[in-house]
Structure 1
Amino acid sequence: MIALVRYMFMVLLLSQRYLAPLLLFLGLVVVLTSSDTGPLAGTYASVAGALLPCSVWLTMALIGLEDQPHRSIVVVSSGSHCRVLLATIATATVWCVLLTAVGLTLPLMFGTHALGLADLALGAEAQLTCAFIGVAIGLACSRLVFRRQGYALVLALVLLLAVLLGKSVSPVNIMLTNLQNASDSADVLVSTGVLLAVAAGLLAAAAAITQAITLRKG
């Protein structure tokens, strides 16, 4: 599995398709957090929101790197469709973790904040919550599910709007609202952790659905 993740990581790295979502993330973080002096909870909410579309983009780009014959060779070499799908999710998650580290650091460089351990933990939770939801959307809108990427792109945009605007329904909307209204990171640390677990569950469900559709098509 580690070798498969390393292979996918290097394929995406060499393809340079990570550059567009990476630059989008960096640009959004700089614009949203530059000269910010407010509570870090609200700042990291903005960073997490920026990671959401970027994680969708990264996941779809990663899955779209290989055509069907090439992917079939990878499946045969690895032993199963499930291993390839899990490696894809793991690779996308690794990229998102790297972006999370950047998202934790840049607001401290461009703004003025009093930093605590609770702030860093909250920032990591918030970004990973959005990353898991983004990877889930990326799987659901990938080539594994949709042969025509025009339809997949439209669905991805609809799902992004739904998770951002779905009040009292979407874990992303609930989390971002809680963080924007929080004056102390410690106050929302536990509730954000619960939403992170919910996001992980949704990612697992998206992976199961994608796997079922892939096997049915195959």
Structure 2
Amino acid sequence: MAHQEHREHDTLDTIDEQVLKGELFFERHGKKIIIAVAALLVIALGFFAYHRFVTIPKSEKATAQMFVAEDSFMLGQDSLALKGQGAGTQGFEAIAKNFSGTDAANLAHAYSGICLYDMGKYQEALTELKKFSSDEAVVAPSIQRIIGDCYVQLGKLDDAVKAYETAAKQANNEAISPSCLIKAGHVYEKQGKYDKAIALYNEVKTKYYTAPEAETVEADLVRAQAAQGK
């Protein structure tokens, strides 16, 4: 019994010692802990405030500016779409720069690239198109296909083929993939790589056989086979 009381007394002493250590630790570091917690709260509140009062209004302003630029783009007025119409309106270039971090700015890079390509400014177009980022199954591969077009115009055929094949793989559908594969095949023909061109044309015929390109690609296939046989 005395032994048990001694153990209980030792246990209580140990608990008291641990509590005392905890109290001493808090006395020594309590201010630091409170400051750290307060700092986390300030950061969290700051993030919320920034999102509510900066990010959202910024996105709304960017979207409003995009409507005007898109109208010019749809009318084929590439220069106006790119540079803006003045009187408080901004073109795609300014939207991408002034509203960075928004979805509108990201899309503005894509629009800018297309406008620049149509204007024959292929290197500038390539720079803008590469700034666009998306995992969307239609827009992303379509932009990748235009990147391939830029490389062709710049004479960078290896890069062009890579871009076209990447676009076809990203899309993996009959709306986009066949045209990308055919474009890649044309580049391979320019390089004299007829076997690779033929393989891509056959892929269009077999994998995307219900697409319109499955019929028109026959002419490409015959041409490549004839060139290979020379």
TM-score, structure 2 as length reference: 0.26
TM-score, structure 1 as length reference: 0.27
Q: Which has the higher contact order (CA 8 A, sep 6+)?
A: 1
